[in-house]
Amino acid sequence: MATTQKYDPNIVLSTKDYDVIGTRPIRPDGPDKVTGRALYGADFQSNGLSYGKVLRSPHAHARIKSIDTSRAEKLPGVRAVVTSADLPPSNGNVTMKRRRNNVLAGDKVLYAGHAVAAVAATSLHIAEEAMELIKVDYEVLPWVLTAPDAMMDDAPLIHDDLTTRSLGESTDKRSNIANYNQYMLGDVEKGFAEADVVVEGEYNSKTVHQGYVEPHPSTVLWNQDGRITVWTSTQGTFAVRNATAAVLDVPVSQIKVVPMEIGGGFGGKTVVYMEPVAALLSKKSGNPVKFVMTRREVFEGTGPAPGSHIKVKIGAKRSGEIVAAQAHLAFEAGAFPGSAVSIAAETAFSAYNIPNVLIDAYDVVVNKPKAAPYRAPCAPNAAFAAEQLVDELSEKLGIDPIELRLANAPMEGTRRAAGPVFGTIGCTEVLEAMKDHPHYKAPLNGDNTGRGVSIGYWPNFGGEASATISVRADGKVNLSEGSPDIGGSRAAMSMQVAETLGLKPQDVIPTVVDTDSIGYTETTDGSRTTFSTGIACVEAAKDAVRQMVERAAAIWEIDGGDVEFEKGQFSSKSRPDLKMGFKELAGQLAETGGRVLGRAALHSRGAGGSFCGNLVDIEVDPETGKVTILRYTAFQDAGKAIHPSYVEGQMQGGSVQGIGWALNEEYFFSGEGVMDNSSLLDYRMPTALDLPMIDTVIIEVPNPGHPFGVRGVGEASIVPPNAAIANAIHDAVGVRLNELPMKPSAVSKAVSTNK
């Protein structure tokens, strides 16, 4: 059983157990990226390249009566034009119909920005001109933009063929509620009856975007031999391969996806938009076709994080024991079913051991782009509600907010209403670190200043991954793996291999390869990569060692069972004089049977969830409503930090995105259901001028499911900020804000109303 490590602010993370793990080497891809040599999707070039543009709907909801592409097709320089008529028929497969309709609209457009037709031409300017020549006749229909409105009985139906799936069963009810599930633990009515204090509230959040810097790029060649090659910036090459194959109705073996460098994704680059369209245009024209979205297309035509409507109720005894919790979660799926509301249900109360819980979860379609994952999908929305109510409880009960959370923290063996029993977790350790930190003990100075506390949880994922290790004659190794690097995973993979083989980090040369060159590997998302692909890399390294043990045995003419390997050294158990270093043996492989290739393909389990806590100090200008972040400290259980700098970077990045979500970011829709702020000038993300230094504290409670104790760290860091800032605003000026973003106008209005 893994032991836990209590946080001590005076102790630096220990690396005494490892030679590489826990150190901070320079990242392998750093030089190419800082010098501009790294190639991103938009950098791809090819002979005969065509340039693609997409015609998008100006309406939030409309029936397509006709599409006339004849004038565009006749324009000199136009090589091909496609509409949904060029896609394979769905033959009654509703799921496939919806997937194809999101790529190119079928009989209706379901959101402003919905792709309707596409053009490939010899230049981008000609493609843009041709796009203007396509005539679409629309019949505008009523639209609906929020979950509560879409759930009303008289709401306009977005899909004529959508019926509600309830509690796992199909129903005949036609509505915009795509899915309803319920999660129960204990007896919630009995729990509330036992409570001495009950708090409840309603909370709304707007649609927000992941905010990656690089717009979606993709180039596709449908070659004469039938093979399709895709060059793209994506979080999952195999996901792109599989989705493109499904939309085009071709075998996956017909498609190769080549990963380019990726300029941010945060979950938003896990979905296929342009690849099937580019493939169809390439097949028609005989040329490779390249798309690069504009920023407006990114906002209007790709998947944002869903808006939500949440009701939460929590009851506790005077002692501070939380005895009951209830939640109503209604999340906007966008134009097609499939929000991550189930994850909101799983994470809503996961930072607490509550015996009686009832959660109702609704997946609701609205006339917005289909929702896509955004860093801990839907968990920040749920925490915004639950963590504010926990603070209200602490105030009513007169208990310190961290002490109240500690008194109700889950432990190993705690069961959740919408999730399994916890294994080894670090919730208590994170809270103790927060309580003991100088930030929590520091005085607040000045009027209208406040401090907020919040904690959040992310379950983390495992899944399939593959890796190969090729041992070179000079003793270095080539590592090939299939997880696109969106946050330093090349370094994390190579460090785990180096630790396993007893090498230095620079002795491992990592490469993220295409789908033809490695076994199946799931998408880089859900904080699964360092854990799952990391295990594959470790197992591939062990496979290489097993083969090299036999080579050493052959050289020494002893039995393989007599050879052991530790920290880069092969030795005989029975003859201490027989020793050989990894690099020395590597130089003899060619003469002892050929080069060694270590391999691993696995489905990892036991990911181990991660808890993150935030302390934030703010100052509120009561006249303007402007909130200034004065101090911010993030605490997170990493299990074991492979590269502490990257863990800190993930914690800081999630905190910054959470600050933007909390204070400024939102999709703003006109009265016609069209996004009015589809540029980075009007969609207000925080810059360095808006932020303090984000302090980080890494807690290490090893995950027994990983050889080095790793837990994923990319998701949990965005869960607490919304609520922490809301709690700080209440501490500063005495008002509760129940809607995101908590922008200046909302804050000033709440303050003036409270006077």
DSSP state string for 162-213: -EEEETTEEEEEESSEEEEEEEEES-HHHHHHH-SEEEEEEEEE--B----S
- What pLDDT score does 96 carry? 95
In sequence order, the β-bridge partners of residue 569 are 566, 581
* Whole-number CA gyration radius for the chain: 27
- What pLDDT score does 11 carry? 35
Residue 509, token pair as written in the block: 């040369």
Q: Which residue type, as a one-letter code, is found at position 24?
A: R
Whether residue 56 is predicted with pLDDT greater than 70 in this model: the reply is yes
Distance of CA 133 to the CA centre of its chain: 38
Whether residue 5 is predicted with pLDDT greater than 50 in this model: the reply is no
- What pLDDT score does 3 carry? 30
Residue 378 to residue 372: CA distance in whole angstroms: 10
**Mean pLDDT (whole number) for 134-160:** 98
Average confidence score pLDDT of the chain: 96
Each residue of 193-207: pLDDT tens digit? 999 999 999 999 999
Whether residue 12 is predicted with pLDDT greater than 70 in this model: the reply is no
With bands split at pLDDT 50, 70 and 90, how would you rate the model's confidence at 482? very high
Sheet holding 463-471, edge to edge: 508-512, 477-481, 463-471, 597-604
Whether residue 667 is predicted with pLDDT greater than 90 in this model: the reply is yes
- What pLDDT score does 15 carry? 52
Residue 540 to residue 543: CA distance in whole angstroms: 5
The answer to which of 16-30, 698-712, 738-752 has the lowest mean pLDDT is 16-30
Q: At what angle do helices 237-248 and 94-103 cross, to 10 degrees?
A: 110
Query: Which H or E run includes 379?
Result: helix 379-397
Each residue of 483-524: pLDDT tens digit? 999 989 999 999 999 999 999 999 999 999 999 999 999 999
Whether residue 602 is predicted with pLDDT greater than 50 in this model: the reply is yes
Q: Which residue type, as a one-letter code, is found at position 138?
A: Y
What's the burial of 251, exposed, middle or buried (CB within 10 Å: 0-12/13-18/19+)? Answer: exposed
Each residue of 590-601: pLDDT tens digit? 999 999 999 999
Each residue of 330-355: pLDDT tens digit? 999 999 999 999 999 999 999 999 99
Interior angle at CA 95, CA 94 and CA 100, nearest 5: 95
What's the burial of 198, exposed, middle or buried (CB within 10 Å: 0-12/13-18/19+)? Answer: middle
Whether residue 6 is predicted with pLDDT greater than 80 in this model: the reply is no
Whether residue 28 is predicted with pLDDT greater than 50 in this model: the reply is yes
Provide, rounded to the nearest whole percent, the portion of the chain with pLDDT above 90.
97
Whether residue 162 is predicted with pLDDT greater than 60 in this model: the reply is yes
Of 396, 461, 503, the closest CA to residue 713 belongs to 461
Residue 568 to residue 566: CA distance in whole angstroms: 6
Each residue of 223-264: pLDDT tens digit? 999 999 999 999 999 999 999 999 999 999 999 999 999 999
- What pLDDT score does 8 carry? 38
Compute the residue count for the chain. Answer: 755
Q: Which residue type, as a one-letter code, is found at position 49?
A: L
- What pLDDT score does 419 carry? 78
**Mean pLDDT (whole number) for 151-172:** 96
Residue 591 to residue 589: CA distance in whole angstroms: 5
Q: Which domains are delineated in the chain?
A: 41-141+215-262+269-301 (3.90.1170.50), 424-458+608-755 (3.30.365.10), 462-604 (3.30.365.10)
- What pLDDT score does 420 carry? 86
Each residue of 362-395: pLDDT tens digit? 999 999 999 999 999 999 999 999 999 999 999 9
